[in-house]
Amino acid sequence: MSVVRPDQVADRLAIADLLCRYARGIDRCDEGVLRAVWWPEAKADYGSGEVDALAWSGDVVTALSAMRRTQHFLGNMIIEIDGTSAEAETYCRAWHEVDSADGPQEMEVGGRYLDRLERRGDEWRILHRRYVLDWSRNGPSTARWDGPLYDGLRRRGARAPHDPSMTGE
């Protein structure tokens, strides 16, 4: 069993932060935030082959923008650090609401990110990512935005630059 070492605290926090910034980049459709998680030569394989991660970042923001909304909920992180490289496994429960001919649909996907990360100077970024699919749940959307409870909860997530975290609304 590995033990968390004092000299790795800053590295672990930086890696956890980086993983959270990925989710933020995706959910806010913020290509700048998303691109900044990868090293320039980074590769990503989400299941349809290994691709250039920076090029993918642009494409995925376009694809995500066509969806109504997403939330990438990150959970468990196992991070193994060895000097300037690290391996991480991060659980993710990704919720998507998309339009279809039959009305809005919910797609929820449980999976894991298997990342190889590298520190260059003071900065950690992802060098390689493989995405593993565990389960999915699909069906007509049950999202409600109006009614007795929701009428009082008007501040809603949005894509950059309209999200309350950016507008200060």
Partner 1 sequence: MSTEIDPRLARLLDKQDCIELVHRLARAIDRCDAELVRAVFHPDATDDHGSFKGTASDFVPWVMDVLAGMRRTQHVIGNVLVEIEGDVAHGEAYFIAHHCLPGSDGQGDSFMVAAGRYLDRFERRGGEWRIAHRGAVYDWSSTAPSTDMWDRAAMPGFAFGARGAADPSYRHFAALPERIAAE
In the bound state with partner 1, the residue whose beta carbon lies nearer, of 36 and 132, is 132
Please, what is the minimum distance in Å from the beta carbon of residue 75 to partner 1?
4
Closest to partner 1 by CB, 35 vs 72, is: 72
State the minimum distance, in angstroms, from the CB of residue 153 to partner 1.
20
Long-range interactions of 69-78: CB distance < 8 A, separation 24+: 69/27, 69/96, 69/97, 69/157, 70/26, 70/27, 70/94, 70/95, 70/96, 70/97, 71/27, 71/95, 71/157, 72/22, 72/23, 72/26, 72/27, 73/23, 74/19, 74/20, 74/23, 77/15, 77/16, 77/19
For residues 30 and 38, which CB has a smaller minimum distance to partner 1 in the complex? 38
Give me the residues that bind partner 1 (CB under 8 A), please: 1-6, 9, 12, 45, 47-49, 73, 75-78, 80, 82, 85-87, 89, 91, 93, 110-112, 114, 116, 130-139
